[in-house]
Amino acid sequence: MNIKDVENLAKLARIELTEEEKSELLSDMDSILEYVKQVEEMKVEDTKSELSTYNVWREDKIESRDFSRELITKQFPASKNGFLKVKKIL
């Protein structure tokens, strides 16, 4: 891994980093990835999952929940007429 990789990951994750943070993260990530790489050596005899996964359904009807619209809208960083205001995307 090198500093370019860190920059690329930060770009993908939309996080701004200073030069100092980048080099610090690089050395942390190097040693952490080196350690977790040992997962490669863990033996897996049978890869078939026995997990019982199933869908969780509910009736398609409206149930009132204890939400506060006022509390939700109050936390919008920017709003207009009770709507969330966002910046132009395209």
| 44 touches other proteins (CB under 8 A) | yes
Would you state the structure tokens that stand for residue 17, as one six-digit string? Answer: 């980093």
| 83 touches other proteins (CB under 8 A) | no
| 62 touches other proteins (CB under 8 A) | no
Distances (CA, A) of 44 to 13, 19, 29, 49, 50: 31, 41, 26, 11, 13
- By DSSP bridging, strand 83-84 and strand 79-80 are antiparallel
Q: What does the binding site for other proteins look like in residue numbers (CB under 8 A)?
A: 5-6, 9-10, 12-17, 21, 25, 28-29, 31-33, 35-40, 42-47, 49-51, 56, 58, 65-68, 71-72, 74-78, 84, 86-89
